[in-house]
Amino acid sequence: MTDLTSLTLAEARDALKAKTFTAVELTDAYLAAMEAARGLNAYVVETPEIARDMAKASDARLAAGQAGPLEGLPLGIKDLYATKGVHTQACSHILDRFKPVYESTVSANLWADGAVMLGKLNMDEFAMGSSNETSHYGPVVNPWRRKGSDVKLVPGGSSGGSAAAVAGRLCLGATATDTGGSIRQPAAFTGTVGIKPTYGRCSRWGLVAFASSLDQAGPIARDVRDAAILLKSMASVDPRDTTSVDLPVPDYEAAVGKSVKGLRIGIPKEYRLDGMPAEIDALWRRGIDILREAGAEIVDISLPHTKYALPAYYIVAPAEASSNLARYDGVRYGLRVPGSDIIDMYENTRAAGFGAEVKRRILIGTYVLSAGYYDAYYLRAQKVRTLIKRDFELAYAAGVDAILTPATPSAAFGIGEKADADPVEMYLNDVFTVTVNMAGLPGIAVPAGLSAEGLPLGLQLIGRPFDEETLFTLGAAIEKAAGTFSPAKWW
């Protein structure tokens, strides 16, 4: 039998339906692959018993002709998603031993459609990071390496475990979340496909909150079709999240393979930064050529407030985070470090429980919201956010269907390479992705080529609100021309 983990999610789905192999066999193949890849540190918890039980139940449903859309397909779940009775810590020390008594809506949707849980995936602590190096459980190793080098690279972040697990074939697909680029940047660093849907498309209920006005759930997958299949199951309106939107969930898979003829693609001049690496620029041009040759119309556009998105984000996101993370006080769940009185207990618990990056953001957020600074920082940033969103609205009103940009300003970098750098340098990883969160739009990252060093590079497509279908259509067109990318196995 061929290696079952080499199949895509769509291929495995079809093979299970055709009874080529069983869900238990498929699950066992993944559990073995996970065991062999522990050096990558993609999973923080493996759940083999749960996985085999779910797979057995799937085989029974497949035999009875009652298969759901994801029946028997093994997935990894980012540690940010509440999973009932299973380790859920957003990879933070402060949530030690937390086992939720409830299931997140998105993961519940996946299980209802028949998917199998393999375990919980590593991530930056509370999703704050762009390299997966802030995790309490240590960094994730990217399955990709530079040509002729054994230097360990980061998989990006914050969904670094999700991206590495998908690229390394340690799951068929993974859940992820994206607050400033945390799905798209790791997808670009690992040659996988990641989509952050429109704000409100997926329920945030049961996701550990970082910045509530920016957080969205989405999948990371091996190809565009797999991402479309997963998003269809993940998306729903939810009475428990009033920001989830009551719109029908389209059959995203049907959008894969449609013609891009006549679609107007905007190329924003503001994303051509001074000093942009030549190979990023070349990749972008290649993406433009691919879409033009496929029949799309390319138009130059301007999004004048682009450069203010990242600084505005570093006010809005920490402000919301400082508020959301106030709940970790050593009383209701997780770590508790004793103190001389209750305030001392709070301070000791939070000092020991949060890592350096999380503390940094809580302090920035507390500062910009503190008396006398609110108008100068937070209010101004929210006004700038209105302008960023307006830039996109004007482009779409002028007839643009989607916008094409690079996904990241570089390929994956080495673990520890930026350890001594200024925090702002790490933040710049999200320079192309953060605008999309600030405007609440959908964005997909699709691999489109390799760097001179043999590392994957991704393009980003940004869509109209709730028009994920066009992104899947365009992403599939790029994928058809550029191909898909897998790392050579070395681990």
Residue 193 beta carbon to another protein: minimum distance, rounded to whole angstroms: 23
Contact pick of 336, 435, 442, 487 for another protein (by CB under 8 A): 336
Contacting residue, 254, 398, 419, 424, with another protein by CB under 8 A: 424
Candidates 191, 465, 475, 487; binder of another protein (CB under 8 A) is 465
- Among the candidate windows 27-35, 37-45, 59-67, 338-346, which touches another protein by CB under 8 A? 338-346
Task: Give the nearer residue to another protein in terms of CB position, either 160 or 465.
Answer: 465
**248 Cβ neighbours under 8 A, 6+ residues apart:** none
User: 185: number of CA atoms within 13 Å, CB side?
Assistant: 36
* Structural tokens at position 80: 């940010």
Q: Check binding of 347 to another protein (CB under 8 A).
A: yes
One residue of 52, 286, 389, 480 binding another protein per CB under 8 A = 389
78 among known catalytic residues = yes
- CA–CA separation, 278 vs 271, rounded Å? 14
Cβ distance to another protein smaller for residue 314 or 485: 314
- Least Å distance, CB 295 to another protein, is 31
Question: Closest CB to another protein among 28 and 430?
Answer: 430
Q: Give the three-state DSSP class for 71.
A: coil
Kindly calculate the radius of gyration of the chain based on its CA atoms and give it in whole angstroms: 21
- Of the pair 6, 386, the CB lying nearest another protein is at 386
Q: Is 158 a catalytic residue?
A: yes
Nearer of residues 71 and 329 to another protein, judged by Cβ: 329
| Positions in 67-106 near another protein (CB under 8 A) | 97-101
Between 226 and 391, name the residue whose CB sits nearer to another protein: 391
60 lines the binding site for another protein (CB under 8 A): no
Q: In what order do the strands lie in the sheet with 173-178?
A: 43-46, 116-121, 74-78, 173-178, 216-221, 193-196, 443-450, 456-463, 402-406, 264-268, 297-301
Q: Is 102 exposed, middle or buried (0-12, 13-18, 19+ CB in 10 A)?
A: middle
Pairing of strands 264-268, 402-406: parallel
Residue 26, CA distances (Å) to 19, 74, 226, 244 in order: 11, 8, 17, 33
| Helix/strand/coil for 479 | helix
Contact between 348 and another protein per CB under 8 A: yes
Show contacts with another protein in window 227-246 (CB under 8 A).
239, 242-243, 245-246
Cβ closest to another protein, residue 60 vs residue 326:
326
233 among known catalytic residues: no
Map the footprint of another protein across residues 184-213, applying CB under 8 A: 198-200, 213
- Residue 484 lies near another protein (rule: CB under 8 A): no
Which of the residues 130, 159, 182, 244 is marked catalytic?
Answer: 182
- Count the site residues for another protein by CB under 8 A: 92
Out of 83, 132, 190, 322, the residue judged to bind another protein by CB under 8 A = 322
Helices (H), 102-219: 105-112, 160-167, 184-190
**Pairwise CA distance, residues 7 & 15, whole Å:** 9
Note the helical H segments in 138-223: 160-167, 184-190
Minimum Å gap between C-beta 215 and another protein is 11
Q: How far is CA 282 from CA 193, 260, 279, in A?
A: 20, 22, 5
Taking the least distance from each CB to another protein, the nearer of 5 and 198 is 198
| 24 alpha-carbon distance from chain centroid | 28
- Give CA–CA dist 177/157, Å, rounded: 10
Catalytic residue of the set 107, 135, 158, 162: 158
Closer to another protein by Cβ: residue 276 or 288: 276
Choice between 191 and 200, CB closer to another protein: 200
Phi, psi of 74 (to 5 degrees): -80, 130
Scan residues 349-388 and list those touching another protein (CB under 8 A).
350-351, 354, 359-360, 362-364, 366-367, 370, 376-377, 379-387
Given 78, 120, 196, 232, the catalytic residue: 78
Residue 251: CB atoms within 10 Å: 11
Cβ contacts of 171 within 8 Å, gap of 6 or more: 30, 34, 74, 75, 76, 118, 165
**The binder of another protein chosen from 414, 480, 481, 484 (CB under 8 A):** 414
Residues numbered 103-142 forming contacts with another protein, rule: CB under 8 A: none
Q: How far is the CB of 331 from another protein (least distance, A)?
A: 5
CB 210 within 8 A of CB 365: no
- Within 267-306, the residues that bind another protein by CB under 8 A are 273-277, 305
Contact status: 454 vs another protein (CB under 8 A):
no
Site string for another protein, 39-58 (x = CB under 8 A): --------------------
Q: How many CB atoms lie within 10 A of CB 239?
A: 10
Judged by CB under 8 A, the stretch of 117-125, 254-262, 263-271, 341-349 that binds another protein is 341-349
Please state at what angle helix 224-234 crosses helix 468-482, rounded to 10 degrees: 160
Q: How far is the CB of 430 from another protein (least distance, A)?
A: 11
Of the candidates 146, 258, 286, 480, which one interacts with another protein according to CB under 8 A? 146
Tokens of 350: 């939070």
Q: Which residues are catalytic, by number? A: 78, 158, 182
